[in-house]
Amino acid sequence: MKLKSLSFSVMVGLTFGLSAQAVMASGYHFGTQSVSSQATANASAAEAADASTVFYNAAGMTHLEGTNFSGALNLVFPDVEYSNAKGSYPGNGPIAGQTSGKITDDVVAVPHLYLTHKLNDRVALGLGVYVPFASETEYQRNSVLRYNVNQTGLKTIDINPTIAFKVNEQHSLAAGLIAQYAKASLRQYANFGAFYALMGVPGAGNGTHDGYAEVEGDDWGYGFNLAWLWDVSDTTRIGLNYRSKVEHTLSGTAKWTKQPPAGAATALNNAPFNYKDSEGAKVDIVTPESLSLHGMHKLDPKWTLFGDVTWTRHSRFDTAVVEYENTKRVAGGFSNKTILTPRWEDTYKVALGASYQWSDPLQLRFGVAYDQSPVPDDNHRLSTIPDNDRYWFSVGGKYDLSKNSSVNLAYSYIYIKDAKANLNGYCGGADAGSVTCVSSKTSASADYNSHAQIVGVQYNYRF
């Protein structure tokens, strides 16, 4: 992977959490991987009605006859705005710049594809190609928060081949491999003016000669998924779905862009500063495992109820360290590390939904969900992930075009609680105080107001 980063806080925010800027699910999950499930606020994992069951519960493939295809497109309309931003350099000098603005694109398009094939009465195969994380966030280049993060972007694709086995008339099991590809970019500013002031450059000081880092990188990580589905009766079904952690080792090159004053063109490249134009960097990252318990119950020929509870081990995002090839001059000494301590906590998501068969071709679907944020408090909320608890409200429908084809439509509104972030630039943040590390060591705060809308369309075909 190629990295061109200033600090680990930005790199982790990029790699883990940019989906939070698209304000889908809490933490760093995109939040929905099919339109049929989106319409029930993702409560219908036990339904196994189309090929997207590969993601939600792959054991459901044994309930699909023949060969099935589902192709979905989500159009996301995120709105994350910050306001009342303020910041200070070490020594409490105020940071000048923009104090409010929108940091998300107006619309993001996210596709998902699924294919299943029933080999015989007991064995089914499947393949999912879907987007777990996707986002683009950008602050103004002169934002007060520029030393925390200025621009971030992430595109990821999971390739998930699976196999399901029908144990008997009631129980089915499934297992799959997850190959995850991620491509990321970012931009962050550095307060190099303070170093030039130490050199005695006339007029140099905090904010006078900002430099910045730009990041582009990609990486592959691997994991697995397991699923179980139990047909308790003709009207009731429950299931479990487990998705493993995925480990990423990000290593590559850190590149720095400086805007030096006259007479100091290469000063920061050399000892004792060692902010070279290009150097090595590495960091280890683990994305969390999750476990989902879900069920469905047919009340009568028209009404079906759905429910889902999902636990996610977000506490894996507790502490992380990036190491640079060269030891650098930093405020208070020398270091080649940047440390982040978000102290995230494990979370639960609870979703309830229903479907109503209005007529032979038309089914109406709806659902609500509560999605808990892993952020423990304002002192651990990152500018790249201004996350908070959220509520989903979804409606939609399925229309049978023919015996073998159907279309799903869905609309979701996601309400996110207002949030505040106290951005301590010292490595280790609120837990560590002043630590010698690679950082501009600015402090800042901002208020965040966020919500999102999702429009989805999905086409299903049975061969």
| 8-462 has CATH 2.40.50.840 classification | no
pLDDT for the residue 28 = 62
277, two tokens: 């134009």
DSSP 431-457: GT-S---SS---EEEEEEEEEEEEEEE
**pLDDT given for residue 218 in this prediction:** 76
Q: What is the pTM of this model?
A: 0.88
pLDDT at 26: 64
Average pLDDT over residues 114-138: 90
Strand-pair partners of 148: none
Above 50 in pLDDT, residue 243? yes
pLDDT for residue 27: 61
Q: What is the pLDDT of residue 270?
A: 86
pLDDT at 8 over 50: no
Percentage of the residues of the chain whose pLDDT score is greater than 90: 54
What would the mean pLDDT of 265-289 be, rounded to a whole number? 82
CA distance 341 to 362: 50
Record the tokens describing residue 219, joined without a space.
Answer: 């990486």
Mean confidence (pLDDT) of the chain: 86
Q: What percent of the chain has pLDDT over 70?
A: 90
Ramachandran class of 194: left when φ > 0, alpha when ψ lies in -120 to 50, beta otherwise: alpha
pLDDT computed for residue 272 by the predictor: 86
In angstroms, rounded to a whole number, what is the distance separating the alpha carbons of residues 433 and 129?
A: 43
Choice among 20-24, 298-302, 338-342 with the minimum mean pLDDT = 20-24
pLDDT at residue 380 in the model: 87
- Of 194-203, 288-297, 316-325, the range with the lowest mean pLDDT is 316-325
How many residues are there in the chain? 463
Per the model's pLDDT, the better-predicted residue between 42 and 13 turns out to be 42
What is the per-residue pLDDT for 334? 86
Q: For Cα atoms 252, 256, 246, give the angle at the middle one, nearest 5 degrees.
A: 30
Q: How confident is the model at residue 203 (pLDDT cuts 50, 70, 90)?
A: confident
Q: Tell me the three state secondary structure of residue 202.
A: coil
Task: Please tell me the predicted confidence (pLDDT) of residue 7.
Answer: 35
pLDDT band at 433 (very low <50, low <70, confident <90, very high): low
Sequence-distant (6+) residues with CB within 8 A of 102 are 79, 80, 81
The terminus-to-terminus CA distance of the chain in angstroms comes to 40
The mean pLDDT of 64-77, rounded to a whole number, is: 95
Alpha-carbon span 256 to 379, nearest angstrom = 28
Q: What is the pLDDT of residue 425?
A: 66
Distances (CA, A) of 384 to 14, 145, 188: 7, 11, 11
At 115 the pLDDT is 98
Residue 93 has pLDDT above 70, yes or no: yes
Q: Mean pLDDT: which of 154-168, 230-244, 314-328 is highest?
A: 230-244
Has residue 5 got a pLDDT over 50? no
Query: What pLDDT shows up at residue 253?
Result: 77
Check whether 422 has a pLDDT greater than 50.
yes
What pLDDT score was predicted for residue 215?
A: 67
